[in-house]
């Protein structure tokens, strides 16, 4: 089982806008062609990024998928190639236990930097990044039992108890 869904309207109000019409009308990720590996993520609003600027973008999405899978988030290659836009972390890695976490219910955000010399505007409903589901393996002697307690960066804080 794997699927995308919208964050709740309550989370949407916190992170994006108190606008039910906007919430009801933004698109879920989808593949462009039968053989596309990535699911395109669409801009909820216009996003303008000036040269040198970093913009944090709420996707409005969360993803449910199997425990032996991960979701990789990447800038659409055309935006990187044509306009020199990139994720500040290069590739986003979402683990299955991020879904419905207690901090932000699994709302995925991306951080985009404009390393070009022109202001770029990504129009509402335009695909700007893509998510690719992958399987991963663990070592035979792996015995980790901890589970995620929060949202972004929460696994870095597991030793702060």
Total domains, the chain: 1
- For residue 161, being part of any structural domain is answered with no
Rounded distance, CA 88 to CA 152, Å? 14
Do the Cβ atoms of 62 and 105 come closer than 8 Å? yes
Task: State what percent of residues in the chain have pLDDT above 90.
Answer: 88
pTM, two decimals, is: 0.88
* pLDDT computed for residue 152 by the predictor: 56
Q: Taking residues 45-68, report their average pLDDT.
A: 98
Host domain of residue 25: 3-137
- For residue 148, being part of any structural domain is answered with no
* pLDDT computed for residue 161 by the predictor: 44
Q: How many CB atoms lie within 10 A of CB 70?
A: 18
Chain centre distance of CA 37: 16
pLDDT tens, residue by residue, 94-150: 999 999 999 999 999 999 999 999 999 999 999 999 999 999 999 999 988 877 666
- For residue 158, being part of any structural domain is answered with no
């Amino acid at each position: 089982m794997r699927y995308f869904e919208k964050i709740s309207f309550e989370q949407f109000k916190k992170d994006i806008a108190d606008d039910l019409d906007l919430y009801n009308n933004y698109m879920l990720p989808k593949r462009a062609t039968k053989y596309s590996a990535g699911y395109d993520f669409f801009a909820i609003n216009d996003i303008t990024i000036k040269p040198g600027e970093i913009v944090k973008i709420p996707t409005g999405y969360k993803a449910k998928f199997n425990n032996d899978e991960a979701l990789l988030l990447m800038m659409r290659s055309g935006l990187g190639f044509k306009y020199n836009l990139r994720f500040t972390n290069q590739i986003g890695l979402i683990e299955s236990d991020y879904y419905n976490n207690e901090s932000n219910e699994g709302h995925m955000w991306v951080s985009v930097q404009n390393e070009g010399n022109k202001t770029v505007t990504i129009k509402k409903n335009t695909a700007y990044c893509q998510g690719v589901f992958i399987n991963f393996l663990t070592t035979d002697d792996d015995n980790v039992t901890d589970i995620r307690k929060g949202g972004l960066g929460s696994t870095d804080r597991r030793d702060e108890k």
